[in-house]
Chain A
Amino acid sequence: MMSTVTQDPPANALARITLRNGFYGALLVVLALVPLAAQLAGAGNWTSFATQILIFAIAAVSLNLILGYGGMISFGHAAFMAIGGYSVGIASVYGLNNGFAHLAMAIGFSALFALVTGAIALRTRGVYFIMITLAFAQMVFFAFVSLEEFGGDDGLTVNSRSEFAGLIDLEREPTLYYTVFVVLLATLYLTHRIVNSRFGWVIRGARSNEARMLTLGHPVYRYRLTCYVIGGIMCGVAGFLFANYANFVNPEDAAWTTSGELIFMVVLGGMGSLFGPVLGAIVFFMMEETVGSIPIVGIYWKIFFGPFLVLVVLFAREGIDGWLVPRAVKASDAALADAIAPLARRLAAMLIDVALFALSAWLLIAVLGGWLMTLPRQPYHQDLVMIACVYVFLAGILVNHLVLPASKWRGSAGKIAMGLAVVGGDGRTLAPAQAVQRVFGQVLTIATALIGYVWMVADREHRALHDRLAATRVVVRGRLK
């Protein structure tokens, strides 16, 4: 039977799972396997790195409840991290290592702080709310800086991790990781229940139109305050976990830069989406880790993160989560079915592209950058030269993956070499916006531990995540009618 439907027909139960849910499901499976993979690969620091990501994911999810669902732009969310953290730190100074007590204090103090500061801050709107939440967080920051007996601005070492009466041994890295993972799952589930409950609807309605909610008879203030307290408690728990992870607490945990990073994660992942902040946290730390590991320029990784965030805000207002809604495929795909590129040829094209990257990265950064820096007299700042080299490299990637596919060559250098082409659903050359979407999709495919390529193998038309997102197909040039 000829197919003229606009979407892929749901061939089986698996196909009916939406791209978004499938992706998040796969992500959770990968996260669940991290310690195992780390052990197999003999890379113990993977678990530690992933623990840090997930703790910040919990904090970002909690901020999303306030910011994304509640529309309250808090610029002081990190205060709760510090309050949760110091609940562990200060208690252990006094020899109190009981985890239940730590947790109770983290929750109690976070709730109290949220209740008092929220009650004041929520009387303001807009920029005033942003500034007053920032001010309260800075107050916490300076309070911990001034507490000399608890380390002052040097921070405080936590000598032993919270003890849970022998039930959970947080000193073991995998146990700590799975504890954090379970807390994250619980936070996500709780958030899911809350935002779909009556309470959640009032919160979301108030974000959409506060005046209308008041006129309908909803006392918006007390709902917002409750929401603020719930979000604060969740983040306080993240702070409790972070102190256990780092064995260290620091006033910096409450600093405005930390609050800003949490906002980054939420915006990057997608405000008001359940899993978005988790993705935001993963991509944030992955970028910090990958770009940050480049010699010299690494410490300036935020110079690259900044433009990336600008692009996200410009092209994907709903963050990464928003990209996971695929473009509708308009035309029939029957005409393209015969031309779909075999996996082996795609793999070869990919290898050529990767080889090109490696070569140009080596030439630009190691050879050219290295040579520039050995020059005896330098009228310029060394680091700036390296940053410029990295930007030239990134520009090269964009030409190869954005400009070339949207041009008459219809593909990256590797695909051109292998006689392949990227086409839209109707067999046409990509529109610039579609090419942009595909590049974002590729970032996503790669930044989340290559999960996106799973689709390429499973999909009948060998479409990877980015192909599905941008409604593109990779075909053999010669077989295209």
Chain B
Amino acid sequence: MKQPVLQIKDLQKSFGGVHATDNLTLDVTPNEIHAVIGPNGAGKTTMIAQLSGALMPDDGQIVFAGRDITRLPAYRRSHLGLARSFQITSVFLDFSCLENVSLAVLAHQGHAFRFWRAVRGDRTLSDPAMASLERVGLADRADIRAANLAHGEQRQLEIAMALATEPSFLLLDEPMAGMGQSESARMIETLNTLKRDKTMLLVEHDMDAVFALADRISVLVYGQVIATGAPDDIRNNDAVRKAYLGDEAGDA
């Protein structure tokens, strides 16, 4: 088996008495799409937040590309090639699509302590930004304000921004959230084309998408991984069935 590119070891995070992340251990190997599923409140977004640096874990270790990044500030992780898309759409609403992605390109190009030259018309920013928009099929919407985009398009923009930092690894927090069927299909297509040169950790509720995309699936319940395996193994795993059925029975 290939060396894992991302290793999560015994990660711990609690809020008050709630163990949102409880001894979480997980490996992601290069160029795989590793899906993380689990019932609501299983700690999926908390896990992503710790991986991206928005939250600091209480204990445990995160190793990315052979480097311990457990305490690294969020902005430094981006420069190592780790990019995140958000569950709740988190784009710059008062900026145009192209400007949104330009802000991402700007981050990738190093410091922005340049006070004089105008950004608008700067090809070194707009060209890569446009390329990212093309990859997710938003090129014709470049000048539209992000606030005026359809929901599905905003999700695509999220991905374009993550891509513009030229990451090797994508942390995708429910990229299909709130999408219609055709929008989801389009997103699946987009992610599939990215698979060639990116590793992805995908948190998703849309099971069709998960089984269409994932090479491996980990199931998270109460902050712990209860099973990891190929999609077929997970489909037939008793513990997983119990977790999900138990959850549904609880809902009813």
Contacts and interface: CB of A to CB of B under 8 A. Distances in A.
Contacts of B108: 217
A223 interface: yes
Contact of A209 (B76, B91, B106): B91
Interface stretch (A37-45, A90-98, A196-204): A196-204
B95 A219 contact: no
- Give the most central of B90, B92, B99, B120: most A CB within 10 Å: B92
A427 B64 CA distance: 67
Interface in B51-101: 52-54, 73-79, 83-84, 86, 90-95, 99
A218 B53 CA distance: 13
Interface string A206-240: 00110111111111100100100000000000000
A214 B115 CA distance: 20
Contacts of A202: 103, 106, 112
Nearest to A193: B116
B114 A199 contact: yes
A194 interface: yes
A165 to B, nearest CB: 29
A208 to B, nearest CB: 4
A205 interface: yes
Contact of A215 (B52, B99, B106, B118): B52
A216 B101 CA distance: 10
A337 to B, nearest CB: 34
B154 interface: no
B119 A201 contact: yes
A94 to B, nearest CB: 35
Contacts of B74: 214-215
Interface of B is mostly: loop
Given A197-B117, A198-B106, A202-B106, A209 B90 contact: yes
Interface residues of B, number: 37
Contacts of B106: 198, 201-202, 218
Contacts of A196: 118-120
A293 B113 CA distance: 48
B84 A205 contact: no
Contacts of A209: 90-92
A214 B54 contact: yes
Nearest to B106: A198
Interface residues of A, number: 24
Given A217-B78, A217-B108, A212 B114 contact: no
Given A196-B118, A218-B106, A218-B107, A212 B90 contact: yes
Contacts of B104: 216
A326 to B, nearest CB: 19
A142 to B, nearest CB: 35
A422 to B, nearest CB: 32
A215 B115 contact: no
Contact of A218 (B75, B91, B114, B118): B75
A200 B113 CA distance: 9
B94 A208 contact: yes
Given A196-B120, A201-B112, A211 B107 contact: no
A255 to B, nearest CB: 32
B46 to A, nearest CB: 15
Contacts of A198: 106, 112-114, 117, 119
A194 B118 CA distance: 8
A200 B94 CA distance: 15
B92 A205 contact: yes
| The 5 A-B residue pairs with the shortest CB-CB distance in the complex, in nearest-first order | A217-B78, A217-B107, A198-B112, A216-B107, A214-B74
Interface of A: 193-194, 196-202, 205, 208-209, 211-220, 223, 226
Given A197-B117, A215-B86, A217-B107, 20 more contacts: A193-B115, A193-B118, A198-B106, A199-B114, A205-B92, A205-B95, A208-B92, A208-B95, A209-B91, A212-B161, A214-B53, A215-B52, A215-B74, A216-B78, A217-B77, A218-B75, A218-B107, A219-B73, A220-B75, A223-B112
